[in-house]
Amino acid sequence: MFKHQMSKNTEFVKFDKVDKSYDGKVLVVKDLNLNISEGEFITMLGPSGSGKTTCLMMLAGFETPTNGEIYLDSNPISNIPPHKRGIGMVFQNYALFPHMTVYENLAFPLRVRKVQKDEIDKKVDKALSMVSLSGFESRMPAQLSGGQQQRVAVARALVFDPAVVLMDEPLGALDKNLRESMQYEIKHIHENIGVTVVYVTHDQGEALTMSNRIAVFNDGKVQQLSSPDKLYEEPVNSFVAEFIGENNTFGGEVTDISKDVCKVKLQNGEILANPISVNSKGDKTTVSIRPERALINPKDKMDNNQTGKIEEVIYHGDHTRVRLDLLGNKEFILKVPNSSNELDLKLGNEIKVGWNSQDARALDPK
């Protein structure tokens, strides 16, 4: 899918300096600039109240930007009402029309576009088979399970071949197993038809599995926009590091800095870190280390070697989580794969822990 993308419009959807305020006092979206390529699956991820849903609503046309402009395929759309934008949308609680059958629900966007009857039949058929719900045409939404309703909602948003589909936390109401299988299903549908998807969620796991790119929102701003792996491995600030995945942090002050390594002085101790957003000596910083990057009794040579006391051991099936008291941080988490069982993980034991300075990212202070 990516190979087609080179020729495609990289500014298919464009937020240009968009501000949004509801009450004239607080900006819920601040100076948002965001380009979405054609055919891309982009996720807006963030805690509630971070402005991600507002952005989606502005794109759908249910809210107008207070300032700035949104472009769809290079056309400004701020003054186009929702029904003329041709954007499909999947709502949080499906918003299926309860008085219509599945067929009528899917036919609705086609009927308002005055599509011929046999054409409607064909498209509804195709859309239903895409979400593997063929044969459910005459059911009422209330007769379907949550997952089936969700799939109908997806089919309805896609049936009229929109250029962009918006999804507003569509899987929030499903249970965990169903949510995971729906994630793959939606991802595969996207790969098959190549529609541009803008997806809003507060579930980072969902975002990481499904998206081409993720925009992490906080405080009305995009904190980082990058691919899932980069987002996880290379967070640009401490909010992103904290929000995505698990994270061990140390607060401290830079005492020495070179091109790709810096010395950070902690309350009790000193570590080497990778300078990301620190520039000079004396900068305050938060150092972030992913749990799986720190190893117990490392065999290879590592430039950070510390000793910690085991505070807690939690069995997780495929791995064991170990909480350490390390350099004054009592919440230092380690993930130990359960295949390496020769370790002596007992409460109160002192163990050696090591990590590379490359993986310890010195970010902005919290």
Partner 1 sequence: MSSETKQILTTDGIPLEISLKKAERKNKIKAFLLVAPLLLFLIITYIFPIGEMFTRSIDDKMITNMLPKTFKSMETWDGKELPSEEVFASFLSDFKILVEKKEHGKLAQRLNKEKNGFNTITKKLFRQVKRNKIDETQSIKEQIMKVHKRWRNVEYWQAIKRTAPPYTSAKYLKAMDMYLNEDNKITQVSEDRRIHRILWLRTVEVAFFVTVFCFLMGYPIAHLLATLPMKYSNLLMICVLLPFWTSLLVRTASWMILLQQQGVVNDFFVMIGLVAEDNRPEMMYNKVGTYVAMTQILLPFMVLPLYSVMKTISPSLMRAGKSLGGTPFVAFWKVYFPLTIPGIGAGCLLVFILAIGYYITPALVGGASGTLISNQIAYHMKTTLDWSFASAMGLMLLGGVLVIYWLYNKLVGVDNIKLG
Residues 194-253 touching partner 1, rule: CB under 8 A, are: none
Q: Say which DSSP state 91 is in.
A: B
Residue 117 interacts with partner 1 (CB under 8 A): yes or no: no
Structure token pair of residue 39 = 């055919």
Q: Which residues pair with 273 in a beta bridge?
A: 262
In the chain, the N- to C-terminal Cα span, in Å, equals 39
Tokens 């040579």 belong to which residue?
Answer: 301
Q: Which region among 10-18, 97-105, 140-148, 244-252 touches partner 1 (by CB under 8 A)?
A: 97-105
Structure token pair of residue 54 = 């507002």
Cβ proximity of 39 and 5 under 8 Å: yes
Per-residue mark of binding to partner 1, 153-182 (x: CB under 8 A): ---xx--x-----x----------------
State in angstroms the smallest separation of the CB of 167 from partner 1. 12
CA distance 40 to 7: 13
Q: Is 296 buried (19+), middle (13-18) or exposed (0-12) by CB count in 10 A? A: middle
CA distance 85 to 81: 7
Instruction: Please identify which residue in 8, 17, 22, 62 interacts with partner 1, judged by CB under 8 A.
Output: 62
Quick check: helix, strand or coil at residue 71?
strand
Residue 52 interacts with partner 1 (CB under 8 A): yes or no: no
Residue 146 interacts with partner 1 (CB under 8 A): yes or no: no
Instruction: Please identify which residue in 71, 103, 108, 232 interacts with partner 1, judged by CB under 8 A.
Output: 108
Instruction: Please identify which residue in 2, 26, 79, 81 interacts with partner 1, judged by CB under 8 A.
Output: 81
CA atoms within 13 A on the CB side of 51: 22
Cβ proximity of 291 and 333 under 8 Å: yes
Nearest residue (CB) to partner 1, 9 versus 92: 92
Cβ proximity of 256 and 272 under 8 Å: no
Per-residue mark of binding to partner 1, 255-294 (x: CB under 8 A): ----------------------------------------
Instruction: Please identify which residue in 67, 78, 97, 265 interacts with partner 1, judged by CB under 8 A.
Output: 97
Q: Which residues pair with 76 in a beta bridge?
A: 71
Pairing of strands 329-337, 248-257: unpaired
Q: Which region among 40-48, 76-84, 173-181, 294-302 touches partner 1 (by CB under 8 A)?
A: 76-84
Nearest residue (CB) to partner 1, 157 versus 336: 157
Nearest residue (CB) to partner 1, 159 versus 214: 159
Nearest residue (CB) to partner 1, 15 versus 94: 94
Residue 89 interacts with partner 1 (CB under 8 A): yes or no: yes
Nearest residue (CB) to partner 1, 89 versus 216: 89
Which stretches of the chain bind partner 1, using CB under 8 A?
Answer: 60-62, 81-89, 91-93, 95-99, 108-109, 112-113, 156-157, 160, 166
